[in-house]
Amino acid sequence: MTMEVRMPFGTTLFFGSWLVAWTTAGVMIGLSPDFGALDSLAFTLFGWVVAVAIYTITLRISRFASERAVAEIFDYLSDGKAISDK
């Protein structure tokens, strides 16, 4: 069975914004005289790792739900119920 689904737009937009914000904050930390480049890098990498981890989990859950929905539709149609309900 093959399936084609769309990427969740809201989730993608949210995490894209998240990455831009964390990167911007990391650059600001790096330019601050109170912190060093290592602090900036650690802060930015932490934000990116968290975002990628959450986004990956979200996509796996979405894919699982989509596969279940498609399987239920195929099961429903293969039983002939869709034709007999008319």
Q: Burial of 26 by CB count in 10 Å (0-12 exposed, 13-18 middle, 19+ buried)?
A: buried
Q: In sequence order, what E strands does the chain have?
A: none
**What does the pLDDT average to over 34-55?**
92
Higher pLDDT, 77 or 20: 20
Domain coordinates in residue numbering, the chain: 9-77
pLDDT score at 40: 93
pLDDT score at 53: 93
pLDDT score at 2: 65
Report the candidate in 4, 78, 31 with the shortest Cα–Cα distance to residue 23. Answer: 31
**What does the pLDDT average to over 47-68?**
87
Q: Does the structure show a pLDDT above 90 at 19? A: yes
pLDDT score at 83: 56
Distance, CA of 84 to CA of 25 (rounded, Å):
60
8 Å CB contact between 18 and 65: no
> What global pTM score does this model have?
0.67
